[in-house]
């Protein structure tokens, strides 16, 4: 016969396990959404109402997964607002801000692909670094938005919407302005390397930590252009062609450390890389990005970064391994070292609701 104490203990353990499972599911909201999507998908035959609910939840899940992935790549909330999708009747503002979320609205009677393109354009324009927009070159920002919208539409996977975006937006914007075309092409080449989010957008986000752009708007505009040109030169250079990998401005101070020259590694080990980083630290550079492609080079990059575990002036804030396309598709890593002053600064990345609503 089972004792009362044993039954009580079993009940307590069951309650603890159930509570822990509930907490886990609440912390992983995307799991719950996947279950909801699966259930709705199998009941779409019941009619248009269920089908619309499925479409809205599917889009909402895809948008929020994209936002989470981009913020993870950048290393901070460059897209600070989560998305909720609603079906509406009549014509009204496609986007509104409610309790810290962006509400996207789909017209019952409208074309879904057309609505989707307009919503994504509006979301990217209103959510992507709005605090920085008055101080960044309009054409660089426009090109950045085109890349982001294209990436999001690729995740959505609706061919009609992607084609409409290409025909009605992307081709039109790129063809009518040679500057937009130049920056769009440049940022695309960075995206293939994985540098569009991990370096370019991260540096834009880091500007907010310094709170300097109010009085240095002209410097900032110039420095963002120079940063873009530097990254493109490095990303598109031929092997063994030397390019100065450092830019030191008044606001942006950055250096790119490329690990990949076997001759240097075989003859001198990691010392030349460490010496270079030490010189960058002495020059007061804010951000140092160690980039390597291929498993042997990735191991070397990690050894280099390990030298700065207990450094008083610089700290490793991020390390990510991913697939880089570039000239050839390989596993790559990007390790971010930042000055301790910048790494511990408190950003105010989430813009005020008033600012968002005015844009």
- What is the tens place of the pLDDT at every residue in 3-16? 544 344 445 544 54
Give the end of a domain, one of 178, 196, 218: 178
Residue 305, domain member (yes or no): yes
Q: State the pLDDT at residue 217.
A: 61
Q: Are residues 151 and 75 in the same domain?
A: yes
Residue 354, domain member (yes or no): no
Cβ 113 vs Cβ 160: under 8 Å: yes
Q: State the pLDDT at residue 357.
A: 43
Tokens, residue 128: 């992507």
Q: Are residues 89 and 165 in the same domain?
A: yes
Distance CA(189)–CA(182), nearest Å, equals 11
Q: Are residues 170 and 314 in the same domain?
A: no
Residue 326, domain member (yes or no): yes
Residue 247, helix vs strand vs coil: strand
| Burial bucket for residue 88 (CB in 10 Å: 0-12, 13-18, 19+) | middle
Q: State the pLDDT at residue 257.
A: 95
Cross-strand bridge partners of residue 84: 103
Give the end of a domain, one of 147, 178, 209: 178
Tokens 């575990």 correspond to 309
Q: Which residues contact 315 (CB under 8 A, 6 or more apart)?
A: 308, 337, 338, 340, 343
Q: Are residues 174 and 297 in the same domain?
A: no
Residue 297, domain member (yes or no): yes
Tokens, residue 52: 């619309």
Q: How many domains does the chain have?
A: 2
Cα-flanking dihedrals φ and ψ of residue 4, to 5°?
A: -60, -40
Q: Are residues 118 and 259 in the same domain?
A: no
Residue 154, domain member (yes or no): yes
Q: State the pLDDT at residue 343.
A: 63
Structural domain for 110, as ranges = 25-178
Q: Are residues 154 and 77 in the same domain?
A: yes
Cross-strand bridge partners of residue 338: 287, 315
Q: Are residues 32 and 147 in the same domain?
A: yes
Q: Are residues 255 and 143 in the same domain?
A: no
Nearest to 348 by CA among 214, 232, 236: 214
Residue 352, domain member (yes or no): no
Tally Cβ neighbours within 10 Å of residue 280: 23
pLDDT tens digit at each of 359 positions of the chain: 445 443 444 455 445 445 444 444 444 445 555 555 455 444 455 556 667 777 778 888 888 889 999 999 998 888 888 888 887 876 667 778 787 788 888 787 778 788 888 888 888 888 888 777 777 888 999 999 999 999 999 988 888 888 999 998 999 999 999 999 999 999 999 999 999 999 999 999 888 666 555 555 667 888 999 999 999 999 888 877 889 999 999 889 999 999 987 777 777 788 999 999 999 999 999 999 999 998 889 999 999 999 998 888 999 999 999 988 877 788 999 999 998 877 665 444 444 334 344 44
Q: Are residues 252 and 336 in the same domain?
A: yes
Tally Cβ neighbours within 10 Å of residue 99: 7
Residue 206, domain member (yes or no): no
Q: State the pLDDT at residue 55.
A: 75
Q: Are residues 121 and 248 in the same domain?
A: no
Residue 114, domain member (yes or no): yes
E strand map for the chain: 82-88, 95-98, 101-107, 246-248, 253-259, 287-293, 314-324, 330-339
238-263 per-position pLDDT tens digit: 877 889 999 999 889 999 999 987 77
Q: Are residues 174 and 48 in the same domain?
A: yes
Q: Are residues 285 and 155 in the same domain?
A: no
Q: State the pLDDT at residue 350.
A: 41
CA angle 325, 330, 333 (to 5 degrees): 95
Cβ 85 vs Cβ 72: under 8 Å: no
CATH code, domain with 261: 3.30.110.20
């Amino acid at each position: 016969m089972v004792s009362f104490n044993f039954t009580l203990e079993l009940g307590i353990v069951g309650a603890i396990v159930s509570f822990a499972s509930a907490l886990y599911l609440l912390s992983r909201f995307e799991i719950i959404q996947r279950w909801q999507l699966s259930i709705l998908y199998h009941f779409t035959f019941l009619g248009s109402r269920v089908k619309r609910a499925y479409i809205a939840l599917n889009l909402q899940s895809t948008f929020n997964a994209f936002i989470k992935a981009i913020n993870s790549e950048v290393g901070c909330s460059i897209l600070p607002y989560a998305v909720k999708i609603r079906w509406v009747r009549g014509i009204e503002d496609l986007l509104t801000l409610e309790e810290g979320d962006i509400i996207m609205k789909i017209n019952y009677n409208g074309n879904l692909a057309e609505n989707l393109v307009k919503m994504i354009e509006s979301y990217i324009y209103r959510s992507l670094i709005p605090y920085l927009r008055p101080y960044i070159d309009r054409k660089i920002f426009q090109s950045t938005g085109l890349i982001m919208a294209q990436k999001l539409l690729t995740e959505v996977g609706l061919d009609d919407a992607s084609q409409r975006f290409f025909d009605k937006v992307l081709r039109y914007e790129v063809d009518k302005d040679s500057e937009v075309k130049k920056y769009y092409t440049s940022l695309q080449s960075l995206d293939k390397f994985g540098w569009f989010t991990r370096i370019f957008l991260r540096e834009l986000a880091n500007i907010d930590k310094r709170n300097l752009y109010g009085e240095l708007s002209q410097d900032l505009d110039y420095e963002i252009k120079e940063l873009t040109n530097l990254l493109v030169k490095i990303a598109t250079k031929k092997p063994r062609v030397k390019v100065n990998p450092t830019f030191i401005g008044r606001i942006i101070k950055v250096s790119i450390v490329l690990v990949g020259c076997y001759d240097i590694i075989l003859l001198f080990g990691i010392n030349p890389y460490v010496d270079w980083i030490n010189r960058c630290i002495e020059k007061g550079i804010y951000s140092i990005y160690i980039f390597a492609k291929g498993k042997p080079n990735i191991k070397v990059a990690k050894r280099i970064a390990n030298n700065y575990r207990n450094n008083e002036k610089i700290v490793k804030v991020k390390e990510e391994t991913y697939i880089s396309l570039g000239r050839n598709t390989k596993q790559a890593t990007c390790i971010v070292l930042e000055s301790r002053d910048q790494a511990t600064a408190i950003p105010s990345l989430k813009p005020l609701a008033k600012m968002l609503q005015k844009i």
